[in-house]
């Protein structure tokens, strides 16, 4: 009753704020913000340039892809404090916070902590970890005041960007140094987090602009389902430098160098040393550090011919250790990954109807896994270098009176795991006038194997536990894998794993990567429509059908009976197929010159099935971890006396595979600008509930956590 009453009161308060704000504005317009919100829609839809869809600048409105752009103004007024939270209102994107330092982010389904079918870029650098083909979002965060825009491509982009751009691409683009001149200081503090950030931008002569920045953050731990406090608090320090040089009218050079370091805590379920098949909630800590450097050169040979080349180096090192406890001394491990990448492209016209882009690239990845003899994850080999060679071509063909265009593209890659991969795409674009765009596409994309899927030797636990349980290290550890947690909870081995009948003994799985694991494949059909019937209103609709082949699953290899337990051999296979389909809608309406509304809705259905009945342990593993329905509504108002009010409501339907109900939440931001360069903001997140669960990690099984309501005050000073 108390929660329902609070939910009702806060919802009513939000409605009253809207009405009172409207009445206040109607009575007085003196001192209102100088920003005219009606101008933002035109900029966003009609004029803004995007680069991710075609690897060169083009108008968003005339793009033959499902594209959504979050501008720097959208970010400032979003009430978000991290990149994943900024993405929550994008149609087709599912964001779920697992605990205080971990997120699951995906596009068009298959959500998990390391969403492998999503390519994430930052200023052209790939930032996913090749160990799991996912992103450490806590490590890869950046100063949000420096973000110029975030471009989100929903749908495959492998024809231009290569493997892992299966269901979508997220490209985080930071501002040119020339646009961040002067100083900035931002400080925030609240119930769950606090931060301090500083930035300075300057020039050297007329051709070179630069900025340096740094930010430190502290985050409180989450709470568990039983109300106890978790051990997932985290702290981070990050910073960097960017320089943009224009030595001539035809040349542009960009240099970026970033660093990051921090410390995160974590709770995870591991096998109990006292009873085979049962789980024990333990904690470990993970300090990390890393950095990257990028150098990009762009040259215009003429108005229509340009060349771009870039090289970047990226490194991440993570250390993990369980704290001393029932397993005896602390167990430690180290994971280090290094990436060197070169990329180039040339754009030129071919005749009067063809605009061509060609490019090639090379990437070298080498890693190192070291640890105590009984650590959780071991690779074989423990040190590995692998290479990826790639080349692509795209031709945009003008068909008829500049209204019809055909875009044909293909990328060919060669990697050390699966050899050659070919990813073609064909897109058709119709723009009858400046107010309407229709597009359709058919594409093929692949998701190449991660290091874990091919080379994970086994998952192990400390020696004391192994001795007490009488199990091999691998058998003991994989019992903590969340995908099999429900099986372990039953404490039985069923006939589906080759025993015949049923035995009332614990099942302890043992996982090994498979050298036979190959790339997952996708064939996608897409259709989209954009319209802007009036300057004040715009609508974007996209639909898709995805056909998946060779999806990852875990196969029961054999079952061996031991003293008081059964050892289940498990390996990764491609023995699963799937189909996904959905619709995504977004609309923007500038109700007045001081009030803007944005709405988004997504419908998603993903089903999968296995080819070999009875041997696959996770037939619906990823497909039941994304909501079927999601929606958001944002209200942005410029009120009198330099006050801004932003309200964001969001809804996601239940996650059947994780036993999580539907979620309705609201965020709010109230900001005051007493002076031109000073902003004071009060931010509330998850205001409708004390706490709620959004996701449960079922791979490296983390303790179930609740995301709490939070209130934050922030001061930003520009000088």
Each residue's pLDDT tens digit, 343-359: 999 999 999 999 999 99
605 contact partners, CB below 8 Å, separation of at least 6: 580, 581, 582, 628
> For residue 72, what is the enclosing H or E element?
helix 72-76
State residue 321's pLDDT score. Answer: 77
Query: In this structure, what token pair is assigned to residue 626?
Result: 């994304």
Give the residue from 379, 398, 522 showing the smallest Cα distance to 455.
Answer: 379
* 109-113-114 Cα angle (round to 5): 85
Please count the residues of the chain.
719
> Does residue 546 carry a pLDDT above 50?
yes
State residue 493's pLDDT score. Answer: 36
Residue 469, sorted as left (phi over 0), alpha (psi -120 to 50) or beta, turns out to be alpha
pLDDT band (50, 70, 90) for residue 376:
low
State residue 464's pLDDT score. Answer: 27
Residue 384 lies inside a defined structural domain of this protein: yes
State residue 429's pLDDT score. Answer: 98
State residue 617's pLDDT score. Answer: 59
> For residue 84, what is the enclosing H or E element?
helix 83-86
Question: For residues 452 and 509, what is the distance between their CA atoms, to the nearest angstrom?
Answer: 16
On whether the pTM is more than 0.85, the answer is yes
Q: Please, is 110 exposed, middle or buried when counting C-beta atoms within 10 Å of its C-beta (0-12, 13-18, 19+)? A: buried
Average pLDDT in the 104-113 region?
92
Average pLDDT in the 228-255 region?
93
Query: In this structure, what token pair is assigned to residue 181?
Result: 């001149």
Tell which wins on pLDDT, 685 or 478.
685
Q: Please, is 449 exposed, middle or buried when counting C-beta atoms within 10 Å of its C-beta (0-12, 13-18, 19+)? A: buried
pLDDT band (50, 70, 90) for residue 379:
confident
pLDDT band (50, 70, 90) for residue 713:
very high
State residue 487's pLDDT score. Answer: 37
Residue 472 lies inside a defined structural domain of this protein: no
Tell which wins on pLDDT, 685 or 319.
685
Query: In this structure, what token pair is assigned to residue 230?
Result: 């978790």
Query: In this structure, what token pair is assigned to residue 300?
Result: 């215009």
Question: Which tens digits make up the pLDDT trace of 575-604?
Answer: 899 999 999 999 999 999 999 999 999 999
End-to-end CA distance of the chain: 49
Tell which wins on pLDDT, 97 or 320.
97
Residue 27 lies inside a defined structural domain of this protein: no
- Torsion angle in degrees (nearest 10) through CA of 105, 109, 112, 114: -60
Question: Which tens digits make up the pLDDT trace of 639-677?
Answer: 999 999 999 999 999 998 788 999 999 999 999 999 999
pLDDT band (50, 70, 90) for residue 454:
very high
Question: For residues 253 and 309, what is the distance between their CA atoms, to the nearest angstrom?
Answer: 10
Query: What mean pLDDT is reported for the chain?
Result: 84
Average pLDDT in the 186-212 region?
96
Query: In this structure, what token pair is assigned to residue 560?
Result: 């061996």
Give the rounded percent of residues in the chain with a pLDDT score beyond 90.
62
> Does residue 4 carry a pLDDT above 60?
no
Q: Please, is 297 exposed, middle or buried when counting C-beta atoms within 10 Å of its C-beta (0-12, 13-18, 19+)? A: middle
Residue 129 lies inside a defined structural domain of this protein: yes
Question: Which tens digits make up the pLDDT trace of 419-450?
Answer: 999 999 999 999 999 899 999 999 999 999 99
Distances (CA, A) of 324 to 43, 459, 700: 56, 19, 20
- Three-state SS for 203? strand
State residue 681's pLDDT score. Answer: 97
Question: For residues 239 and 218, what is the distance between their CA atoms, to the nearest angstrom?
Answer: 15
Range of the domain at 286: 40-463+504-718
Tell which wins on pLDDT, 554 or 32.
554
Residue 101 lies inside a defined structural domain of this protein: yes
| Residue reference for tokens 């900029």 | 43
> Does residue 377 carry a pLDDT above 90?
no
> Does residue 185 carry a pLDDT above 90?
yes
Q: How many domains does the chain have?
A: 1
Average pLDDT in the 611-622 region?
60
Average pLDDT in the 691-711 region?
82
pLDDT band (50, 70, 90) for residue 633:
very high
State residue 282's pLDDT score. Answer: 62
pLDDT band (50, 70, 90) for residue 400:
confident
State residue 521's pLDDT score. Answer: 97
> Does residue 473 carry a pLDDT above 90?
no
Are the C-beta atoms of residues 68 and 602 closer than 8 Å to each other?
no
Are the C-beta atoms of residues 50 and 56 closer than 8 Å to each other?
no
* 46-309-313 Cα angle (round to 5): 110
Q: Where are the beta strands (DSSP E) in 434-475?
A: 436-447, 456-459
Residue 15 lies inside a defined structural domain of this protein: no
State residue 232's pLDDT score. Answer: 85
Question: For residues 173 and 165, what is the distance between their CA atoms, to the nearest angstrom?
Answer: 17
Q: Please, is 295 exposed, middle or buried when counting C-beta atoms within 10 Å of its C-beta (0-12, 13-18, 19+)? A: middle
Question: For residues 513 and 524, what is the distance between their CA atoms, to the nearest angstrom?
Answer: 28
Residue 19 lies inside a defined structural domain of this protein: no
- Three-state SS for 302? coil
* 85-88-94 Cα angle (round to 5): 115
Structure letter (DSSP) for residue 655 = B
φ/ψ of residue 14, rounded to 5: -60, -45
291 contact partners, CB below 8 Å, separation of at least 6: 257, 258, 259, 260, 314, 315
Count the neighbouring beta carbons within 10 Å of the beta carbon of residue 374: 20
State residue 373's pLDDT score. Answer: 57
Distances (CA, A) of 144 to 141, 150, 170: 8, 11, 15
> Does residue 191 carry a pLDDT above 50?
yes
Q: Among 26-40, 130-144, 276-290, where is mean pLDDT lowest?
A: 26-40
Are the C-beta atoms of residues 243 and 212 closer than 8 Å to each other?
no
Tell which wins on pLDDT, 514 or 633.
633
> Does residue 474 carry a pLDDT above 70?
no
DSSP states along 137-193: TTTS---GGGEEEEEEEES--HHHH-TT-SSEEEEEEEPPGGGS-EEEEEEEEESSE
> Does residue 63 carry a pLDDT above 80?
yes
Give the residue from 117, 56, 169, 157 showing the smallest Cα distance to 410.
Answer: 157
Residue 484 lies inside a defined structural domain of this protein: no
Give the residue from 150, 27, 10, 176 showing the smallest Cα distance to 90.
Answer: 150
Cα 462 to chain centroid, rounded: 32
- The DSSP bridge pattern shows strands 565-592 and 507-512 to be parallel
Question: For residues 215 and 182, what is the distance between their CA atoms, to the nearest angstrom?
Answer: 17
State residue 401's pLDDT score. Answer: 79
Tell which wins on pLDDT, 88 or 322.
88
CATH code of the domain in which 340 resides: 2.40.170.20
Give the residue from 61, 69, 55, 100 showing the smallest Cα distance to 82.
Answer: 100
Count the neighbouring beta carbons within 10 Å of the beta carbon of residue 467: 12
511 contact partners, CB below 8 Å, separation of at least 6: 456, 458, 459, 474, 478, 481, 554, 570, 571, 572
> Does residue 312 carry a pLDDT above 50?
yes
- The DSSP bridge pattern shows strands 118-122 and 168-174 to be parallel
Peptide bond into 330 cis (omega under 30): no
State residue 112's pLDDT score. Answer: 86
State residue 48's pLDDT score. Answer: 83
pLDDT band (50, 70, 90) for residue 370:
confident
Count the neighbouring beta carbons within 10 Å of the beta carbon of residue 307: 15
Tell which wins on pLDDT, 131 or 256.
256
């Amino acid at each position: 009753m108390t929660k329902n009453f609070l939910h009702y009161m806060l919802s009513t308060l939000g409605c009253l704020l809207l009405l009172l704000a409207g009445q206040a504005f109607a009575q007085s317009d003196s001192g209102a913000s100088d920003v005219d919100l009606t101008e933002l829609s035109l900029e966003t839809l009609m004029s803004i340039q995007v680069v991710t869809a075609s690897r060169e600048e083009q108008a968003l409105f005339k793009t033959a892809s499902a594209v959504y752009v979050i501008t720097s103004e959208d970010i400032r007024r979003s009430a978000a404090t991290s990149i994943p939270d900024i993405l929550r209102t994008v149609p087709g994107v599912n964001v779920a916070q697992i605990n205080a330092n971990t997120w699951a982010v995906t596009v068009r389904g298959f959500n998990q902590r390391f969403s492998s079918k999503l390519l994430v870029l930052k200023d052209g650098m790939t930032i996913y970890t090749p160990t799991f083909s996912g992103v450490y979002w806590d490590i890869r965060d950046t100063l949000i005041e420096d973000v110029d825009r975030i471009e989100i491509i929903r749908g495959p982009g492998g024809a231009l960007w290569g493997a892992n751009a299966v269901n979508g691409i997220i490209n985080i683009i930071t501002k040119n140094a020339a646009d961040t001149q002067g100083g900035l200081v931002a400080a925030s503090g609240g119930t769950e987090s606090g931060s301090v950030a500083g930035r300075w931008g300057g020039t050297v002569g007329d051709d070179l602009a630069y900025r340096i920045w740094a930010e430190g953050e502290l985050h409180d731990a989450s709470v568990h389902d039983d109300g106890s406090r978790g051990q997932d608090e985290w702290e981070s320090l990050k910073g960097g430098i960017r320089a943009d040089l224009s030595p001539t009218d035809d040349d542009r050079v960009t240099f970026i160098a970033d660093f990051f370091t921090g410390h995160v805590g974590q709770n995870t379920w591991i096998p109990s040393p006292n009873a085979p098949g049962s789980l024990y909630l333990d904690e470990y800590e993970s300090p990390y550090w890393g950095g990257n450097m990028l150098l990009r050169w762009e040259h215009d040979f003429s108005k229509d011919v340009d060349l771009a080349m870039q090289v970047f180096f990226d490194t991440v090192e993570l250390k993990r250790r369980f704290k001393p406890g029932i397993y005896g001394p602390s167990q430690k491990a180290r994971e280090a990954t290094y990436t060197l990448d070169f990329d180039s492209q040339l754009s030129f016209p071919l005749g009067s109807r063809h605009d061509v882009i060609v490019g090639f690239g090379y990437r070298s990845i080498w890693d190192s896994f070291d640890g105590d003899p009984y650590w959780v994850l071991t690779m074989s080999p423990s040190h590995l270098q692998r290479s990826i060679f790639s080349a692509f071509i795209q031709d945009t063909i003008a068909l008829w009176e500049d209204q019809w265009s055909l875009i044909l593209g293909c990328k060919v890659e060669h990697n050390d795991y699966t050899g050659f991969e070919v990813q073609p795409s064909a897109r058709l674009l119709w723009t009858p006038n400046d107010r309407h765009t229709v597009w359709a596409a058919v594409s093929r994309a692949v998701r190449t194997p991660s290091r874990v899927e091919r080379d994970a030797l086994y998952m192990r636990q400390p020696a004391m536990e192994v001795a007490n349980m009488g199990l091999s290290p691998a058998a003991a550890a994989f019992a903590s894998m969340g995908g099999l947690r429900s099986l372990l909870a039953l404490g039985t081995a069923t006939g589906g794993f080759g025993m015949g009948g049923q035995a009332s003994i614990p099942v302890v799985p043992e996982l090994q990567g498979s050298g036979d694991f190959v790339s997952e494949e996708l064939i996608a059909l897409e259709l989209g429509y954009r319209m802007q019937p009036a300057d004040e209103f715009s609508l974007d609709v996209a639909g898709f059908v995805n056909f998946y082949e060779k999806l990852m699953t875990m196969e029961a290899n054999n079952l061996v009976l031991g003293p008081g337990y059964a050892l289940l051999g498990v390996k990764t296979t491609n023995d699963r197929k799937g189909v996904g389909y959905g619709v995504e809608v977004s609309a923007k309406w500038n109700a007045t010159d001081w009030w803007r509304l944005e709405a988004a809705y997504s419908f998603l259905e993903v089903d999968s099935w296995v080819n070999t009945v009875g041997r696959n342990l996770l037939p619906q593993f990823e497909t039941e971890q994304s909501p079927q329905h999601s929606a958001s509504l944002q209200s942005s108002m410029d009120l009198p006396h330099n006050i801004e009010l932003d309200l964001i409501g969001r809804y996601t339907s239940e996650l059947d595979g994780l036993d999580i109900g539907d979620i309705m939440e609201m965020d709010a931001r109230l900001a005051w600008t007493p002076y031109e360069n000073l902003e004071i903001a009060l931010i509330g997140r998850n205001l409708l509930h004390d706490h709620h669960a959004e996701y449960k990690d079922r791979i490296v099984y983390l303790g179930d956590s609740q995301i709490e309501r939070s209130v934050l005050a922030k001061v930003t000073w520009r000088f």
